[in-house]
Structures are given as C-alpha cells and as structure tokens.
Amino acid sequence: MTIQWFPGHMTSARKEAAKTLALTDVVIEVCDARLPEASSNPMIRELRLHRQRPCLKLLNKADLADPDVTKAWLDFYNRQPGVKAVAISCKQPGEAARVPALCKTLAPHRKDTFKPLRMLIMGIPNVGKSTLMNALLKRRVAAVGDEPAVTVTQQRADLGPTMTITDTPGLMWPKIEHDSDGFMLAASHAIGRNAVIDSEVGIFLAGLLLQRYPALLAARYGIEVDGMDGVAAVEAIAKKRGCIVKGRHAGELDLEKAAMILLTDYRSGKLGRVSLETPESRAAMLAAAE
C-alpha cells in the first residue's frame, strides 16, 4: 500500500500561507517529536527559505517520544542555520508559554508597537498547532480534535500590543516520496483514515516496534515477541484481546480491530515513550532510497 493524502482545501491553504508568510517574522513549525522529519512538510521549508524567515521548530508531543532520541533530533536541527529547535508538550500551558520569548530571540528587531513580532504557526495536520494557539491565548479560539484537518482557515490573534500570531490549517504535500513516511504519518494519525488500511498500518507499526522497542510490545500485550514479524505480532494481539470476526467469517482473527488497539495505544502513549525514527535511521533510509 502506498499512502497519499492531499485534500482539496490544502491547495488554497498553501497559497494563503504563502501570502501570510510574506508578512511574518518567525515561522513556528510544529512537528511530531516521535517522527520529526517524516512530519516536516518540505513545502513549509521551501516557503520559509524563499522568504528567508527564521524557524522555531517545535518537537511537540515530546512527552510521548523517546527522550534520548528527541535529544539527538534537537542536536540535529540546532546545527541548521536559521533554526532553533525545542522539545515541548503543547498540552502543558507552562511549556507553550515559552514560545513567544523563543521567537523574540530569532527576530530581536521586532520588539515594540511600531514593529510588533509577527509569528506564523505551520505544520502538518494533527501535530498540535491549534492546541498551541489556544494555550498561548489562554482561551479556546482554534478548534481542536483527534482527527487530522480540523482547522481549515487561518486564525490571527494579538498576544499583547507587541506580538501577533496566526494559526494555519494543517498542510500536507502532494506526493509523499517515501513509503515509510506515509506509514509513520498514518500510524501517528496525521493522515485521514479514508486514505489508509488500518491493518496494514498496524502491521507496519508492529514491525517497527519489534525492531526498536520489543520489550514495550511484550509488556503491553503479554506476548512473546522473539522471532515475530509485524503480522505475527498483530495476530498475537488479536488472540490476547479476543479480536474475533463475527458473521460469515466467524472465528477468524480480526486483524483490523487488533491493529486499531495497537495504533490507539501508540497514539495515546500507553505503549510507553516511543520514537519511530532517529537521525541515523533517517539517513540510512534516504541512502537506501538513492
């Protein structure tokens, strides 16, 4: 299965974002800390570099990610020119409150009512952009949901007399180049379910967990993981959780249901702190693709 997802409204959302970016001082790019590169839209980087705007890269959902891997990603991004990267959980208001001060360090000349600091929140769907907006304003102004593409229009607000912030709809890009990126995005619920087959996404995730976090998989579901592949792991979860098909195929294992159990546990953090990619695994994937 090749995963692609680019709803029609995203074309117009990209054009609107490009216009707003021209009047912006700092781009706040929100990524998923569990898959920072897979969840980083290359179009955002192109737009930002075209306008020569600095970037505050927020690795959100850091509370769900492997802390050692997150540290490696922060080192990776903070070596890039014009980029400041920090790990954050936007659901923690105290952490979100750090964002304006961090943006000020990237645009120190924008500091008063004559030159207010103009910030633009960008990122793919369901990474926490609207949660960040609400936390900064200390009130609910942006719709938040556990489904991708909840926000479909830009929302601008003042953060006092010297700062403004704009939230943008989640932006995917027209073609996901690497299959593994599509699966990681689907596993993390950044892609609409109408574009994926849950059982295949669950099998992919199980295979990745067997490689990197087999002990977490074994502990969560009480299964023996030695020698398993992704299919066997999902089948074992189905047996443990009683996922059995009813009706015409009664008695067969319901792999779709078992896959959703695994995906839900990963997304909620019940599996433990998991990162799906590292700087090293990313480099190896790109080298293999070439």
Domains in the chain, ordered, with CATH?
9-167 (3.40.50.300), 197-289 (1.10.1580.10)
pLDDT confidence of residue 196: 85
Task: Report how far Cα 146 is from the mean position of its chain's Cα atoms.
Answer: 12
pLDDT confidence of residue 5: 59
Contact by Cβ (8 Å): 188, 34: yes
Judge residue 63's burial from the number of C-beta atoms within 10 Å of its C-beta, 0-12 exposed, 13-18 middle, 19 or more buried: middle
Judge residue 132's burial from the number of C-beta atoms within 10 Å of its C-beta, 0-12 exposed, 13-18 middle, 19 or more buried: buried
> Six-digit token pair at 86?
């920090």
pLDDT confidence of residue 149: 47
What are the per-10-residue average pLDDT scores of the chain (290 residues)?
63 81 94 97 91 96 98 98 95 88 92 86 92 86 54 81 90 88 94 85 97 97 96 97 81 93 97 97 93
pLDDT confidence of residue 178: 92
pLDDT confidence of residue 151: 57
pLDDT confidence of residue 33: 98
Task: Report how far Cα 148 is from the mean position of its chain's Cα atoms.
Answer: 10
pLDDT confidence of residue 21: 86
CA atoms in the 13 A half-sphere facing the CB of 95: 15
DSSP character string of 233-260: HHHHHHHHTT-B--GGGTTSB-HHHHHH
> Six-digit token pair at 66?
């492997």
Q: Is the dihedral of CA 74, 122, 135, 98 positive or negative?
A: positive
Question: What contacts 285, CB < 8 A, 6 or more positions away?
Answer: 178, 180, 277
Question: What contacts 256, CB < 8 A, 6 or more positions away?
Answer: 198, 199
Contact by Cβ (8 Å): 250, 269: no
3-state SS assignment for residue 15: helix
How many angstroms separate the CA atoms of 259 and 255, rounded?
6
